[in-house]
C-alpha cells in the first residue's frame, strides 16, 4: 500500500495543472494586423509594429511573411503530443516606395482549406551526370589552370 502511495505521489507531483503554451513568432498577430492600413502604412511602421519578418520574398514587389504559432502539451491520455492552438500567417506586399499595397491574413482554418497540387517534378539528372560534370570541370581546371585554352585570359 505504501508503494502505491509513493508512486502516486511521484506521478502527481510531476504533473502540472497549468497549461504550458509554447509560442513561436509574433504575439497577437491578428490584432496587430488590423492596425496596418493599405496605402498608408510604410515599411518602417510595419517593422516597428511587427519587428523583422519571418521570411522575405523579392520579386516585382517585396513580400513579407509573418508567422504566429501556439502549441500546447495535450492531455495525459495522448502521451504528451503537441496540440496546435493557433497557426496564423500574415502576408504583406510592399511596393518600391515602401508603402503597404496588400495584406492577407490566414488562420488555422484558412490554411487547412488551401489545396496544394499533387503533381511532382521529375528530375532527369542522375548521379552519373552530376559526377561527370564535376569531374570534367575539375579535370579541365587541372589541365589548363590559367584558362588560356578556353580563352578566359587573353594574351596581348
Q: What is the pLDDT of residues 108-124, one digit of tens each?
A: 888 777 777 778 776 66
Measured distance CA(46)–CA(95) in Å, rounded: 13
Does position 20 have pLDDT exceeding 60, yes or no? yes
pLDDT for the residue 100: 93
Residue 55 has pLDDT above 60, yes or no: yes
Tell me if the pTM is above 0.95: no
Residues 73-105 have pLDDT tens digits of 766 556 667 788 888 899 999 998 999 999 999
Amino acid at each position: 500500500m505504501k508503494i502505491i502511495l509513493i508512486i502516486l505521489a511521484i506521478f502527481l507531483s510531476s504533473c502540472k495543472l497549468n497549461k504550458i503554451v509554447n509560442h513561436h513568432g509574433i504575439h497577437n498577430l491578428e490584432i496587430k494586423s488590423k492596425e496596418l492600413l493599405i496605402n498608408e502604412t510604410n515599411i518602417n511602421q510595419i517593422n516597428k509594429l511587427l519587428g523583422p519578418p519571418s521570411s522575405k520574398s523579392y520579386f516585382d514587389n517585396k513580400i513579407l511573411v509573418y508567422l504566429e504559432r501556439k502549441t500546447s502539451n495535450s492531455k495525459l491520455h495522448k502521451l504528451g503530443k503537441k496540440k496546435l492552438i493557433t497557426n496564423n500567417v500574415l502576408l504583406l506586399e510592399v511596393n518600391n516606395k515602401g508603402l503597404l499595397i496588400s495584406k492577407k491574413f490566414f488562420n488555422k482554418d484558412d490554411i487547412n482549406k488551401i489545396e496544394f497540387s499533387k503533381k511532382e517534378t521529375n528530375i532527369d539528372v542522375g548521379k552519373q551526370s552530376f559526377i561527370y560534370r564535376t569531374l570534367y570541370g575539375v579535370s579541365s581546371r587541372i589541365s589548363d589552370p590559367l584558362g588560356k585554352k578556353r580563352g578566359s585570359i587573353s594574351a596581348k
